[in-house]
Chains A and B, each alone.
Chain A
Amino acid sequence: MATPEEQLQWIERARGGDARAFEQLVRLHQRRIYRLALHLTGSGGDADDVTQETFFRAYRAIDRFDGRAEIFTWLYRICVNVSLNLRRSRRRVTSDLDDPRVPEPVAEGGNPGVSAEQAQSYRALARAMDDLSESLRTTLVLACVEQLPYKDIAQVLGCSEGTVAWRVHEARKRLRDALPDDVIAPLEPQEPAGGARGRRA
């Protein structure tokens, strides 16, 4: 894992036109950018395109990157913008027959993974997320799937932390209301969270 100082050096070299230096940033962050794009677009092919476009736009605008924030939050912002544009141009979510967001069920006896029931629940959860508004879905993905701190999300989206918290809460509430209990049940954690679960609502 490259240190922040190393990443800043790559950025400086990229500003001078060194594409190889920028490629180091690509290899470092492409997985998280792709995951974000996948959850925002709902399509594997679109996520590939969004990932490439994100890094290309970032390279072109590298001079405008302000070092006060971390590079990955800046890449996240570009990814969100590219994903939103693509999704709007599509007018509807292009859902693959095999939704790439849905984890493949693992046969029993193999490595720990998701069961067929859990895979179905994730499919329903993915569809419910597609029905959320743009702002709620984007904020929810950044907060829960990408697990960014609210402070970083506020930087990415250019809003306040209070707005982030409200959107996350609102999105979770709508997902809960949209999913029946029997669909949610397979997704319950296998091991209860002990005392914390009893104390938290």
Chain B
Amino acid sequence: MDLAADAEADARVVRAMSEDPAVEAWARGMYTVDHALRAWPEVRRGEKSWGRMADRIRKRLEGAKGRGGRAVTPEDEAFIAAPTFDDDAAPPREQQTTMSETNEHDADLEGLAALTRISQVPGAMPSTPPKTVGPSLLDAPDDTSSGLVDMKSLAQLTREAAASIPPPAPAPVAAPAEVEKPAPRKVEKTDDVMVKAKPAPVALPDVPEASRKGGNTWLGALGGMAVTAAAFMFFTRGNAPSPSVDSASQAVNPPAAPAVTAPAPAEAPAAAPTAAPTPAPAAEPHAAAASRRPRA
């Protein structure tokens, strides 16, 4: 029924209608209902009646003189937002796609993303690193591997590290504000082309209490990136000699030092931001940490 006028009908439907009278009758009734809706007779109302309605509306608008568009209250906002229905019926597939579509690599990518988060969590302890895979910087003569970093192994490391982190305390849930009417505004995923967006309030980053003592947040982010590089370098070390002579690992390892040396949890994030600009002092803890790591 919703096909274009020159579109061909579904052959299966046409065949079913020709073979089964009940199907044909049902389809004819469906068509009739649609026609009746589209041809619904107009309500009879005189021009004077319409004029009186317009006058009433104008008088009410004049009562709000000078407020045209000037006083948009939260209640008004609700009326110009997309409607929310009690049932909000939608096709099953549409409901599923409101969530992000699954990807076979999502778990691994999430693990990599967790690298930056783990480094800033107090008390984070890395798990035992897996066996070194791939080539080291100094390839063995008989090494025929591709040299690529195994992303899945790297992600597994982060998942194990994440499992060692105690769950955070649940955030307090604010009581919802009472709204007499209308229905609460639904967050739409589609771009609302009819309503101008309100200027977003400036949201300050939520800096953990411990980090405030230690330094700036950007240093923590830099530390996270350093962890990623450190993990990369660590797993590609292979049979490399003692880290004490591996200058590259020393330069990028400082953020891991607080976790390995096991300082007091409150001090761990503080060490991470300050470690990045001062790699030299961190070389000693790194050397101690490296000595404890199993060598491939």
Q: Please tell me if the beta carbons of A26 and B54 are within 8 angstroms of each other in the complex.
A: yes
Q: Please tell me if the beta carbons of B34 and A172 are within 8 angstroms of each other in the complex.
A: yes
Closest chain A CB from B54 CB (angstroms): 5
Q: Please tell me if the beta carbons of A26 and B43 are within 8 angstroms of each other in the complex.
A: no
Q: Does A93 contact B (CB under 8 A)?
A: no
Knowing A145-B37, A159-B190 are in contact, say whether A62-B69 is a contact too (CB < 8 A).
yes
For A103, the chain B residues whose CB sits under 8 A away are 40-41
Q: Please tell me if the beta carbons of B76 and A61 are within 8 angstroms of each other in the complex.
A: yes
Q: Does B288 contact A (CB under 8 A)?
A: no
Q: Does B175 contact A (CB under 8 A)?
A: no
Q: Please tell me if the beta carbons of A56 and B69 are within 8 angstroms of each other in the complex.
A: no
A175-B32 Cα distance, complex, nearest whole Å: 11
Q: Does B277 contact A (CB under 8 A)?
A: no
Q: Does A46 contact B (CB under 8 A)?
A: no
A103-B41 Cα distance, complex, nearest whole Å: 6
Q: Please tell me if the beta carbons of B9 and A199 are within 8 angstroms of each other in the complex.
A: yes
Closest Cβ neighbor of A102 among chain B residues: B41
Q: Please tell me if the beta carbons of A60 and B68 are within 8 angstroms of each other in the complex.
A: yes
Knowing A62-B69, A145-B38, A181-B25 are in contact, say whether A74-B194 is a contact too (CB < 8 A).
yes
Q: Please tell me if the beta carbons of B33 and A184 are within 8 angstroms of each other in the complex.
A: yes
A40-B42 Cα distance, complex, nearest whole Å: 15
For A162, the chain B residues whose CB sits under 8 A away are 91, 94
Q: Which residues of A1-41 have CB atoms within 8 Å of chain B's CB atoms? A: 14-20, 22-23, 26-27, 30-31, 34-35, 38
Q: A176's contact among B9, B30, B40, B194, by CB below 8 Å, is which?
A: B30
For A179, the chain B residues whose CB sits under 8 A away are 29, 33
Most A-side CB within 10 Å, residue of B65, B81, B195? B195
Q: Does A69 contact B (CB under 8 A)?
A: yes
Q: Does B105 contact A (CB under 8 A)?
A: no
Q: Does B207 contact A (CB under 8 A)?
A: no
Closest Cβ neighbor of B76 among chain A residues: A61
User: How many interface residues does chain A have, given as a range?
Assistant: 35 or more
For A133, the chain B residues whose CB sits under 8 A away are 85-87, 89
Q: Which residues of A151-201 have CB atoms within 8 Å of chain B's CB atoms? A: 154-160, 162-163, 165-170, 172-173, 175-176, 179, 181, 184-185, 187-189, 196-197, 199-201
Q: Does A66 contact B (CB under 8 A)?
A: yes
For A65, the chain B residues whose CB sits under 8 A away are 80, 194-196
Q: Please tell me if the beta carbons of B190 and A135 are within 8 angstroms of each other in the complex.
A: no
Q: Please tell me if the beta carbons of B38 and A144 are within 8 angstroms of each other in the complex.
A: yes
For A159, the chain B residues whose CB sits under 8 A away are 82, 90, 188, 190
Q: Please tell me if the beta carbons of B83 and A81 are within 8 angstroms of each other in the complex.
A: yes
For A61, the chain B residues whose CB sits under 8 A away are 69, 72, 76-77, 79-80
Closest chain A CB from B216 CB (angstroms): 39
Q: Does B131 contact A (CB under 8 A)?
A: no
Q: Please tell me if the beta carbons of B90 and A55 are within 8 angstroms of each other in the complex.
A: no
Knowing A56-B60, A133-B86 are in contact, say whether A200-B65 is a contact too (CB < 8 A).
no
Knowing A63-B69, A89-B181, A133-B86 are in contact, say whether A140-B50 is a contact too (CB < 8 A).
no
Closest Cβ neighbor of B41 among chain A residues: A103
Write the B13-53 contact mask toward A (1 if CB under 8 angstroms, else 0). 11001000000011111111111111111111100001001
A64-B181 Cα distance, complex, nearest whole Å: 20
For B17, the chain A residues whose CB sits under 8 A away are 201
Write the A41-54 contact mask toward B (1 if CB under 8 angstroms, else 0). 00000001001100
A89-B14 Cα distance, complex, nearest whole Å: 46
For B38, the chain A residues whose CB sits under 8 A away are 144-145, 147
A52-B61 Cα distance, complex, nearest whole Å: 10
A56-B63 Cα distance, complex, nearest whole Å: 10
Q: Please tell me if the beta carbons of B193 and A66 are within 8 angstroms of each other in the complex.
A: yes
4 interchain residue pairs of minimum CB distance? A158-B82, A63-B69, A144-B37, A103-B41
A–B pairs, 25, beta carbons within 8 Å:
A60-B71, A65-B194, A65-B196, A66-B194, A66-B195, A66-B196, A81-B80, A88-B183, A104-B44, A121-B36, A122-B41, A134-B85, A138-B85, A144-B34, A158-B192, A159-B82, A159-B90, A172-B34, A176-B26, A176-B30, A181-B25, A185-B32, A187-B32, A197-B31, A200-B1
- B residues near A, CB below 8 A? 1-3, 5, 7-10, 13-14, 17, 25-45, 50, 53-54, 56-58, 60-62, 64-73, 76-83, 85-91, 94, 181-183, 186, 188, 190, 192-196
